Structure 1
């Protein structure tokens, strides 16, 4: 296995491609049955209880709240590190929505099972810092 074909890295790239393509069904299908999305980790306007979105129905509902309304999402990662069954990306995610840009700088992790399905997508970014980057296109 080369660094490029590490299962978590493959799943992470597939997740990012589905988001860029605005393909909800393809994105949800990448997750294990008990997969979870925590974006961001902890309580947020997407997840007031901070427990994450577990299972296909909840992950699909997260898509509807967080991704569907965007015009474009770019993954501007500086680096990635694959270890064990996980990969971590560092950098930022840039969202275009309603004529504005917002950057969420942070650390983004994907953990996969033995079949390469995503068990956990966790995004560590601070809402206040991201909101401070809002600017017109």
Structure 2
């Protein structure tokens, strides 16, 4: 693993964010390892009532349909990133535009990759109540 901007986890994170911005579901799913998992947010939420995460391509595709497809746009407004081992953590916020409203989820967003650079885990540490408190008109 390197410690430059070419760090494999940072490359995967950047590609993931780009696929979301481009609204390219197939490209986004292709970034994940076969047993990859999305936990966004971690634990029980309106996207994942049982809090077990979305594991494998079919579940990750269903997460896209629930959480990403209904939005008008998603922006990644990250202040910094920290790459260590096979992982990277971004700090900042994700801004979602949907239904004439803007919602900001502030937190820590991590990507863990395998030796081939495929995403093993995308984990998002953000609080639903705090994000809902940011709702404002576009």
- How many aligned residue pairs are there? 137
Q: Which structure 1 residue ranges, 4+ long, deviate > 3 Å from structure 2?
A: none
- Do the aligned partners of 2:3 and 2:83 also contact (CA within 8 Å) in 1? no
User: Tell me, which stretches of 5 or more residues in structure 2 are unaligned?
Assistant: none
Residue 126 of structure 1 corresponds to 127
Partners of 2:23 and 2:51 lie apart in 1 by 25
If the length of structure 2 is used for normalisation, what is the TM-score? 0.98
Report the RMSD for the aligned CA atoms in angstroms: 0.6
Partner residue, 1:23 = 24
Gaps of 5+ in 1: none
Counterparts of 2:104 and 2:77 in 1: how far apart (Å)? Answer: 9
Q: Say whether residues 1:117 and 2:118 are aligned partners.
A: yes
SS in 2 for 1:8: helix
Alignment partner, residue 80 of structure 1: 81
Q: Post-superposition shift, 1:33? A: 0.1
Q: What do the CA deviations read for 1:80-106 (whole angstroms, capped 9, x no partner)?
A: 000000000000000001110000000
